[in-house]
Amino acid sequence: MAEVLEKPKTSVDRFRLRRLLEELERKEGRGTELISLYIPPGRNIGEVMSDLRKEHSTAGNIKSKSTRKNVQNALESIMQRLKYFRKAPDTGLVVFCGAIPRAGPGTEKIETYLIIPPEPVPFYLYRCDSKFYVAPLKEMIKEKDAYGLIVIDRNEATIALLVGRRIEIAASLTSGIPGKHDQGGQSQRRFSRIIEQLAHEFYKRVGEKASNIFLELEDNLKGVIIGGPGPTKQEFADGDYLDYRLKKKILGVVDIGYSGEEGIYELVRRGEELIKESRYVEERQLIQKFMAYIAKKPDLVTYGIKEVLDALDKGVAELVLISEDVDLVIVDGECRVCGKPYHDIVSEKSIRRGQLKCPDCGGDIAVSEVKSLVDVIDRKAKATSTRVEVISTVTPEGQQFKNVFGGIAALLRYKIS
């Protein structure tokens, strides 16, 4: 049970950590007896151990006998595990440990989780509570890389952010610049000057608004792209409208057909090359590759759970795509009534709700093993050097992948005969 969860590197690792944190968040102790321990990078484990020994002796004063026993057992379990470290890894170490009830009183079992986090742990913390303290880790796995997006023409501007895989519209502004004037001569020239003045004021407003929004992201802002249907976007980008710190981050100016919110989506599509390091574009390109295979090399694609597992077993899968919304698990067990062995792929929720029934007699299932589908796929994939990518459903492409193809597919090295 107490494997060390290594620092996440792939989309599968990140998915696994996210899922584990959701699971840990749901766990609850019978008393104030679940321990959360955050150890910053490089911290001497000997010092941590001596701190835990003190906590162990303090816990001797806990009045409730079962809570006292559970806290002390958890502390012993943590110390047992920490013995294998001399100092904390380069991003530190997070430990969750405690007695989790299986059913009624007396059914608790000590569970221990060691996690090497994706970012350095910023503090040392020991906490004993009825729940695990997962908030700092959840904050770490939030997608933070962001791009600033501005779509601008003479009439309106829309400011948005691409954060991780999500597009957030932040502000819309209108210029109030009147349309073309039909009088000629002197009044026309005066009118043009007024228009130029109004345009300048408008760009200034857009620049200030965008600067306020983008500068808040500090180092997480990887760049800014600007688009629009006419020459306005270039005037805006060249002028001193954006804060100088943001001007340095302009990755490019893109010609697009739309303005407004629609323009933002078009900007992300047309400006894909400029933001290709974003997970949004990565995922889009993976789905596009899959769609291209469907259209041009249908023999080299397969989708569906059984089909993909089969391709992995045969060692022909090159790339497996799995939607993060596919919360399926492989369950083994047996019927409590007739004893028939049970093996099925079901949703994780149906286990939590105790909805597993024997197909023969309708009796409840005694579950002996639950493996997440993603883990099973990942293990099989590693054995055959197959790449696995977990795809979100926050992009339209990811939604389509989930809805049309069931959220699981593989591109093949060669045709399955």
Interaction site with Zn ion (CB under 5 A): 335, 337-338, 340, 358, 360-361, 363
Instruction: Supply φ then ψ for residue 391, to 5 degrees.
Output: -110, 135
Name every residue whose Cβ is closer than 8 Å to that of residue 69 and which is 6 or more positions away in sequence.
Answer: none
- Residue 158 tokens read as 């829309």
What is the gyration radius of the CA atoms in the chain, in angstroms? 28
CB of 364 to Zn ion, least distance (A): 9
Farthest-apart Cα atoms in the chain, separation? 97
Question: How far is the first Cα of the chain from the last one, in angstroms, to the nearest whole number?
Answer: 40
- The pair of three-digit structure tokens given for residue 275, joined into one six-digit string: 């933001």
**Nearest residue (CB) to Zn ion, 146 versus 365:** 365
Strand 146-152 and strand 221-228: pairing? parallel
Q: How far is the CB of 333 from Zn ion (least distance, A)?
A: 11
Distances 209 to 36, 255, 391 between C-alpha atoms, Å: 41, 22, 33
β-bridge pairing 93-100 and 109-115:
antiparallel
Query: How far is residue 173 CA from its own chain's centroid?
Result: 31
Q: Which residues contact 246 (CB under 8 A, 6 or more apart)?
A: 148, 210, 211, 214, 215, 221, 224
DSSP strand pairing (221-228 vs 250-255) = parallel
What is the Cα–Cα distance from 133 to 130, expressed in whole angstroms?
A: 9
Nearer to Zn ion, 217 or 337 (CB): 337
Nearer to Zn ion, 42 or 341 (CB): 341
Task: State the minimum distance, in angstroms, from the CB of residue 358 to Zn ion.
Answer: 3
CA dist list (Å): 291 to 221, 273, 302, 384, 415: 31, 19, 12, 24, 17
User: In 3D, which of 146, 165, 152 has the Cα closest to residue 263?
Assistant: 152
Nearer Cβ to Zn ion, position 19 or 340? 340
- Of 338 and 383, nearer to Zn ion (C-beta) is 338
Task: Please state the closest distance from residue 356 (CB atom) to Zn ion, in A.
Answer: 11
Q: Which is nearer to Zn ion, 363 or 407 (CB)?
A: 363
Q: From the CB of 336, what's the least distance to Zn ion, in Å?
A: 8
CB of 365 vs Zn ion, minimal distance in Å: 8
Closest to Zn ion by CB, 361 vs 383, is 361
Minimum CB separation of residue 357 from Zn ion in Å reads 8
- Please say which residue, 194 or 361, places its beta carbon nearer to Zn ion: 361
User: Helices 373-383 & 11-26, crossing angle to 10 degrees?
Assistant: 150
Kindly state the tokens that stand for 219.
């180092």
Work out how close the CB of 361 gets to Zn ion at its nearest, in angstroms, rounded to a whole number: 3
User: Which CB sits closer to Zn ion, 210 or 335?
Assistant: 335
Nearer to Zn ion, 141 or 351 (CB): 351
Residue 164, by phi and psi: left (phi above 0), alpha (psi -120 to 50) or beta? Answer: left
Smallest separation (angstroms) from Zn ion to the CB of 341: 10
Q: Which is nearer to Zn ion, 17 or 331 (CB)?
A: 331
Q: How far is the CB of 351 from Zn ion (least distance, A)?
A: 17
> Residue 316 and residue 338: Cα distance in Å, rounded?
39
What are the residue ranges of helices labelled H in 339-406?
A: 348-352, 373-383, 396-405
- Report whether 282 contacts 391 (CB < 8 A): no
Taking the C-alpha atoms of residue 294 and residue 314, their distance in angstroms, rounded to an integer, is 21
Shortest Cβ 354–Zn ion spacing (Å): 15
